[in-house]
Structure 1
Amino acid sequence: MKLSTKGRYGLRAVIDLALTSENEAVSISSIAARQSLSESYLEQLMGKLRKAGIVKSIRGAQGGYRLGRPPEEISVGDILRALEGDLDPVDCMALKHKEGGCVGQDACVTRYVWQKISDSINETVDGILLSTLLEESRQKAGCRQGTCDL
C-alpha cells in the first residue's frame, strides 16, 4: 500500500500544528513554510481534517488552526482515513461494505490475504497516537540540539 501526498503531507502538517499550537492558533502559511508545502494544497488538506474533527479553524486576526481533540485522542489512522479514505490494500476490500459486496467474495481465496493485510495496517495506524509522535519529535529535536545522551 502506498500513501499519497495527502496522507504524507497531512500527517506532517498535523504534527507541526500539534507542536506549535499549544498556546495560539497557527496559520496555514506558517505550517506551509516550516514543512515546505504549498499553501493552497495544505488548505485543501486542512479542510478534510476539519470535517473529520481532527483540527478546528479559528477566524479573525489571531485566527488559524488548532487541534480539534487532544493529541492522546487522535491516532495516525484517524488522520490518514480523513485524508485518504479507507486504507484497504486492494479495491475489492472496499466492496465488502457496499450492498452486494464483491461478486466473487465467497469463493475468493486471496481475500484472506487482503483481509490480513488490511487488519494489520489498520491495527498499526490506529495504535500510533499523535501524542506519541509529538514525544518522538521532541526527543529528536533535543538530540539535534545536543542535549540527548546516547
Structure 2
Amino acid sequence: MTLSEQSWNAIMSMVLLANHDQPQALRLKDLQAHLGVSRPQMELIMARLREAGLVEGIRGTGGGYYLKRAAYRINLADIVNAVEEPEQHFAWLSQGTESERALAQQVWQELNGKLNTLLAGMSLAVLAHQEKPRLKPRMGQTANMIANMFPAHHASLVLERDHMLA
C-alpha cells in the first residue's frame, strides 16, 4: 500500500461528501475547486471510488456525488485501496544480496500490513467528526435508559429494592 497525493485527495473528497448535508449531490466542480485538483485527476479519483462501491454518481443537471454507504461503514483503507495502483515494485527491494533483499521484502510486508491495519481501524465518520450510531446497547445500558425515562420513579425503585434486599 502506498500513500500518495491521490490518496490524500480521495480521503479529503470523502470527508467533504460525508459532511455534505444538502439534499442534492456534491458536484465534481465543487470538489475540484475545494481541493485544488485538476478536473481529469478529480474524475479519476471519483471513478475509482465509484468502482469500489464507496460513492454513487448522478449525471446531468443537479448531478454530482454522494456516499454510497454510511460514513461509519467506510474506513480509510477502503479509500486508499480504491485509488492507489496495486503494490508497486520499489527499486530498493531488489538491491543488495539475496539475504538483504529477503530482509527488505520482509520489512516492507510488515510495514505494509501495519499501515493497512492502522487505516482499516480509522473510519471516515471519525475523520468527518461524525459519531457512529449506537445500534445495540451494552449490558446494563438498557436498564439505565429505562431508568432515565422515569427519573422520579427510579429513586423510589432503588430504595424499594435495597429495602427488600436488607
User: TM-score w.r.t. structure 2 length?
Assistant: 0.64
Match of 1:84 in 2: 84
Name the SS of the counterpart of 1:37 in structure 2: coil
Partner of 1:124: 118
The alignment's C-alpha RMSD in Å is 2.8
- Whether 2:16 is the aligned partner of 1:13: answer no
Q: Secondary structure at the match of 2:111?
A: helix
Identity within the alignment, %: 28
Residue equivalent to 1:98: none
Matches within 5 A, 1:58-97: 58-86=58-86
Alignment-derived partner of residue 46 in structure 1: 46
- Given that 1:89 and 1:114 are in contact with CA atoms closer than 8 Å, whether structure 2 keeps it comes out as no
SS in 2 for 1:135: coil
Segments of 5+ residues of structure 1 without an aligned counterpart are 94-103, 137-150
CA gap of 1:22–1:127, structure 2 versus 1, over 3 A, is farther
Secondary structure of the 1:108 match is: helix
Whole-angstrom distance in 1 between the partners of 2:115 and 2:23: 34
Aligned residue-pair number: 125
Provide Cα deviations, 1:50-78, integer angstroms capped at 9, x if missing partner.
Answer: 00001100123221100011101111000
The offset of 1:2, in angstroms, is: 5.5
CA distance in 1, matches of 2:77, 2:104: 24
Task: Confirm or deny: 8 A CA contact 1:7 1:79 kept in the other structure.
Answer: yes
Give the aligned partner of residue 3 of structure 2: 3
Matched, 1:115 2:109: yes
Distance change in 2, residues 1:50/1:82 (3 Å): same
CA gap 1:87/1:71 in 2 versus in 1, 3 angstroms? farther
Letter in 1 for 2:129: E
Distance in 2, matches of 1:36 and 1:80, equals 19
Corresponding residue SS for 1:61: coil
2:2 and 2:84 in contact (8 A); partners too: no
DSSP 3-state at the match of 2:129 = helix
Counterpart Cα distance in 1 of 2:21 and 2:91: 37
CA deviation string 1:120-146 (max 9, x = no partner): 11110101100000118xxxxxxxxxx
Q: Provide the C-alpha distance between the structure 2 equivalents of 1:91 and 1:18, rounded to a whole number of angstroms.
A: 38
For residues 112 and 89 of structure 2, what CA distance do their matches in structure 1 show?
6
